[in-house]
Structure 1
């Protein structure tokens, strides 16, 4: 009974052979006046029977006497076998006699490379095309965790040997590999083992590469497993190309529930419409009935005499397809390839033989066909183009989805294809999945996919497909699922919060438009305006005693330097450029040095004036204006020299810090040389310290308008501001560094302005009586104008 189940699905192979020969014999333009015949042998899936059939074919009526022929006709070519194992067994004999052999199963690429099998041809696509189709199918659906069941023979080992590297290269892992022989499925232990594997396995996809007989036993075993456990296995089965549903003696199709939604790769076929007419009208003769009787008896039970009037059109639905299968189409093309090669020999001899009547007696040897079969290009009986290159058929595979129905019927749906160039396409919407998946494309993975913004880390001791997911590091993203590595964003971009895309970094600088910038500008301009009012006040009261006291010109220089310091802060606000970076630090350093030099000079002049009042003291000569101007000039020139050295060695320049803050590019002025910047600040601090010391010592000297006590307070404010500036500067980032520096300039500058000039302005504006000459003379104990 089991053999009957296997035979019926090969029934169409024989019919396609008969159909092709009938078409050729009825074609007057192909092999005219020549009739092709055929012999059919069944190897019964056995190696011994295969060899016996080959010997019977070669040495008929001689009891298999090797190399002895008597009254026999030569065999032009042989079509068979379906599996690689039987094809090799046949090729070991046929290659000796140079008889072309066409195999219509999966073509093992390495078979023709052997010298013994140089006469072997294939009407099926190359093996690598099938393997790449499986890989592309798995990649398309993201199936990275799959099981494999292969037959325990050379075919199974070859399948694993060739497919496994392709799976590894594409990050697809094999959850389990099972090798079995057909007779093992009778064992109860194997059934239990299969139930454990298939019911508890993590994978949802199983690839099969087993022979037809093993598939029958596998189907029966799995149905027993489902019946025993009351659990529907419900996997995505990737079936072998030659697979077809088997049938029992009573016509029941086996495995329809088990293999619902299965996928397989079938040799690409084109419709052959006349084949259906052939099936409807076929009436086998007496000799052919001896071969077909057994099959027909299974189909048309009861059938005691196997009447010839039975027709293919009366076959029960599902037992025999009316459209050619991939293997049948390969047999059909093989017959046409032999016919066209034979026809080419016929035409070549027709051109060389003068007596045309002798053509019908030509004796064509099988080995002579090889020269034409190696590379042959023709159209078959259906008008389809067929190309053999180096003995291999240039063709691809169709992806078949097997859709089953409760009434024991099924449908083969073409849902995709893979071309000889390995170009793959598939229509997901056309696929009907197993009922277990509820028409949702199943997942078959060891772990859940890593989301966008994550990358994979392989779990220790587990296959590469079993991995953990970690968030991408800072400034790195992954914009695809299951990313192997994160990609670093360009320097002018940053990773968003979920690390799935890069965004343009925002320029970070103290701008005129933002509130902080507006506040600082307002303060600077306001105090600059106040300084301007002080200057006007002093100019209007230029000849009053309080203005004359302590050197009017020196006071004017001090006020102008304070005014310029306020305006210099505007260089720190806005996007820095090359010019602004050069001038902001240099002007700030020089202007403050001039201001502090003036304060220091004022302090020195106060001390000298007091000392000079002693009779006969020689210090009076130092109270001249030239001395005061020289002190200011010398102190300022030292700072100018430091700034020039700074420019020559390592001048400030615009800097774009792309790494300190996430999502921002800090635009600022790089000091160029921190040492030179420290020297500028240090020199200012040195002048301020000397001025503070001198003013502190002279604060109680008797004088009507003694500025020493005000200078002491102003220097105290100045030093306090810049000492506190250092930690604030070092702890700030981005635009706040600039804000701290601007604030320090404004604060120290305002300290000078208010401490020194606020009391004077108070007297000038509100206490004019204290600024009169008479009042001054009463308070003077000596002349203190200098």
Structure 2
């Protein structure tokens, strides 16, 4: 995982020296091997894990760590390994041994071929890894059998070096922990494969989480090497244009970690960012955490890279837990390896007498020696033989989180499948039938051919997972982990999601944040601009620092952190909050406003008075006043007047398609019915007087009750035909008047055809004028029952109202057009009602003595 960008050229002095070293090794035999192993306490040792087989694969693991701070690749110093085993690396080595054992038991994978291994310690040194790798590739020390493929190493730096050294020999390298993005370059590293994703992908995953949780103002702490520099570069590229800014980027280095940790802690304390991104090793971040604990800075949310997100050393530290609670991290994906735990627990020195690593583990775990004289100090007693890892809690046997170990497991299987493909390619037999036979003999494996088969690898793992290389890389798969508090005060690792390629699957409800709650922490330079406002950048400041400006009238923003406001469509207007475009407030004559209530009251009153008059006339229908004035037409006239009053109510309220059609038809037909009754009554009066003249007696026959009803129906039918034709061809329709910008829009019934409306009014006016003319001619007839005067006055009022209506209707704005028409309807209706029926009602109620035949017959 650690790497830096120095590379040696293929023909550098170091490279030539190493080739020379390999040749020397093949000549010197065992002594050569002893010369190339790590020295421990200045004494040469030769510790390795091995298994003989038809094909041997090499394994490189950092089982001991170097004590030297800096190594010089171009010298051959005596490198001293650490004094104790790295149990996690030892577990990785045993994973390789277990995988080889499992493959050898598989009857379908490498049938008839026994796979062996040579596992060596690299002392976590690039220099030592080169020497061991060349010794393996040049031929094993015991059998002089060359190794065609290497599993490992665990460092990107070492992998880069080995690729340069072994590249000309086309020896494949399958690394289980080298995550440098540079290794994806197939031109420079054609022989490198790896079962761990490139760091590019974890940086992208962390960028997706920052975008998902809307952390737009963050800090970053990185190792001052390419691991940190390239990772933060990938993070910034993934968040470019997504509104994520870094307030600071602090660097740390192992050699100066004391001063770096103090400086970084002070920066974090002073920062307004609440989420901190960390790309460094657990040793460096631990120092930073301890400094933050001293400052009591416990309210920061940390995003962890896979280099420290699963560190037990940090999880178990009580001081670190004060600061690191709630860490959200990307981790190497974990998986189960069936049977591996039983394999580890079954390890015993008596069954593996050549396993020096297991013997040393036994001495430290059980404080006894499994072999007489094997203890370095010579003071440990001999083991009884009953010691066992069965039922013992030990880091070596803990298989609950197999992460790097699973990468080793995949690497071994990838090598096995490539060898299987190489050894079992189709060849035509002598009989002419196609059969499967080895293309290469196990003792003559060509690394170049094996490299090609690795490039084409596409297999299914024992766990049922599809595995293949994209170039030299494996598809990006990670676990997402969360550090959560335990009752003991330490932290525990909780799996809360996974990363599969570019997709993040996250269980947000399972996350415990740094605040100790399930509430996602906020980390912004400026709180989000709420809907109804837009972001305006501050001059000279990062894009994440901005002001929020309210949208103008008629504009909205319905999303948080909108960059601009959007104009509403013409029929819409922004609401008060400027968050949504709503239909502009409809302005029409409604029943709820004062004008609507007044007109409704007047109309209902008119209909009520008309009903009262109708009931009164019905009650006194046998009296002379009622009978003398054409009772049947009077009742029909009252009914039409009631309809006139009620039709005005149709004009009030929200216009609709049917209301627009019905109101004009009801108005036109009701008034024509009313005027027709008056016209017929007037004609009857004239006919009666004409029939009294000599020779005109037959005239009255043409104006009997049947003819009167027929005339009314005829006149009304003509208006009905006009209305039906008008409403069928081009009816009035509800329409919004968008003549001005504002929150209100007039909803009105628009006359699509002015001709139709003009014909309705014109026909009504024609009947009214005819009636007025006839009534005027008959006004001075002497009989008491003559209604001509009353009809004349009513028609004068009627015509005056409707003549004044035309200019008022044309000039009135918005809903007042409807109010003018209603006023004209009510005024003319009241005029007809009072002029014609008020005198009769007065006689019926207050002058009953005149409601007799004698006064009516008097001249």
Q: Does the alignment reach a TM-score above 0.5?
A: yes
Give the C-alpha shift of residue 597 in structure 1: 9.3
Do structure 1's residue 195 and structure 2's residue 265 form an aligned pair?
A: yes
* 8 Å Cα contact 1:79/1:334 also seen in 2: yes
Do structure 1's residue 271 and structure 2's residue 347 form an aligned pair?
A: no
Give the C-alpha shift of residue 178 in structure 1: 1.1
Pick aligned residue for 1:104 from 168, 176, 186: 176
Aligned to 2:249: 178
Is the alpha carbon distance of 1:560 and 1:414 closer, same or farther for their aligned partners in structure 2, counting shifts above 3 Å?
closer
Is the alpha carbon distance of 1:205 and 1:775 closer, same or farther for their aligned partners in structure 2, counting shifts above 3 Å?
closer
Do structure 1's residue 261 and structure 2's residue 330 form an aligned pair?
A: no
CA offset digits 1:663-722 (Å, max 9, x no partner): 9999975443578758977998999999999999x9999998897699558856985799
Is the alpha carbon distance of 1:289 and 1:255 closer, same or farther for their aligned partners in structure 2, counting shifts above 3 Å?
farther
**CA distance in 1 between partners of 2:333 and 2:675 (Å):** 95
Aligned to 2:306: 240
**CA distance in 2 between partners of 1:408 and 1:774 (Å):** 119
CA offset digits 1:735-756 (Å, max 9, x no partner): x987885575244312221123
SS of 1:264's partner is strand
SS of 1:393's partner is coil
Aligned to 2:96: 20
* 8 Å Cα contact 1:520/1:743 also seen in 2: no
Higher helix share: 1
CA offset digits 1:380-428 (Å, max 9, x no partner): 7x76656224444346222223346697965433232233472513263
**CA distance in 1 between partners of 2:512 and 2:393 (Å):** 21
Is the alpha carbon distance of 1:540 and 1:776 closer, same or farther for their aligned partners in structure 2, counting shifts above 3 Å?
closer
Is the alpha carbon distance of 1:38 and 1:557 closer, same or farther for their aligned partners in structure 2, counting shifts above 3 Å?
closer
* 8 Å Cα contact 1:538/1:547 also seen in 2: no
* 8 Å Cα contact 1:173/1:465 also seen in 2: no
Give the C-alpha shift of residue 342 in structure 1: 3.1
Do structure 1's residue 332 and structure 2's residue 409 form an aligned pair?
A: yes
**CA distance in 2 between partners of 1:357 and 1:497 (Å):** 77
Give the C-alpha shift of residue 327 in structure 1: 1.9
**CA-based RMSD:** 6.8
Aligned to 1:208: 278
**CA distance in 1 between partners of 2:485 and 2:394 (Å):** 11
* 8 Å Cα contact 2:610/2:833 also seen in 1: no
Give the C-alpha shift of residue 487 in structure 1: 12
Pick aligned residue for 1:758 from 810, 833, 838: 838
Do structure 1's residue 158 and structure 2's residue 236 form an aligned pair?
A: no
SS of 2:449's partner is helix
Is the alpha carbon distance of 1:419 and 1:681 closer, same or farther for their aligned partners in structure 2, counting shifts above 3 Å?
same
CA offset digits 1:422-476 (Å, max 9, x no partner): 25132633x4444xx133434123255677xx35622422535867496999998
Is the alpha carbon distance of 1:402 and 1:95 closer, same or farther for their aligned partners in structure 2, counting shifts above 3 Å?
farther
Is the alpha carbon distance of 1:269 and 1:709 closer, same or farther for their aligned partners in structure 2, counting shifts above 3 Å?
closer
Aligned to 2:446: 365
**CA distance in 2 between partners of 1:768 and 1:269 (Å):** 111
SS of 2:411's partner is helix
Aligned to 2:521: 443
What TM-score do the two structures reach when normalised by structure 1? 0.66
SS of 2:448's partner is helix
Aligned residues: 716
Is the alpha carbon distance of 1:196 and 1:541 closer, same or farther for their aligned partners in structure 2, counting shifts above 3 Å?
farther
Do structure 1's residue 672 and structure 2's residue 752 form an aligned pair?
A: yes
Structure 1 runs not aligned, ≥5 long:
45-49, 607-624, 781-786
CA offset digits 1:86-144 (Å, max 9, x no partner): 54343333333211122323645664343222221111145565345434544665544
SS of 1:195's partner is helix
SS of 2:521's partner is coil
* 8 Å Cα contact 2:534/2:562 also seen in 1: no
**CA distance in 1 between partners of 2:507 and 2:331 (Å):** 14
SS of 1:117's partner is coil
Give the C-alpha shift of residue 292 in structure 1: 11
Residue correspondence of structure 1 range 458-473 to structure 2 within 5 A: 458-461=535-538, 463=543, 468=548
Is the alpha carbon distance of 1:525 and 1:165 closer, same or farther for their aligned partners in structure 2, counting shifts above 3 Å?
farther
CA offset digits 1:223-259 (Å, max 9, x no partner): 23432x34435433323356553869xx979844433
CA offset digits 1:513-534 (Å, max 9, x no partner): x999899568536515625865
SS of 1:155's partner is helix
Point out the more displaced range, 340-349 or 751-760. Answer: 340-349
Aligned to 1:414: 495
Give the C-alpha shift of residue 201 in structure 1: 2.8
Aligned to 2:418: 341
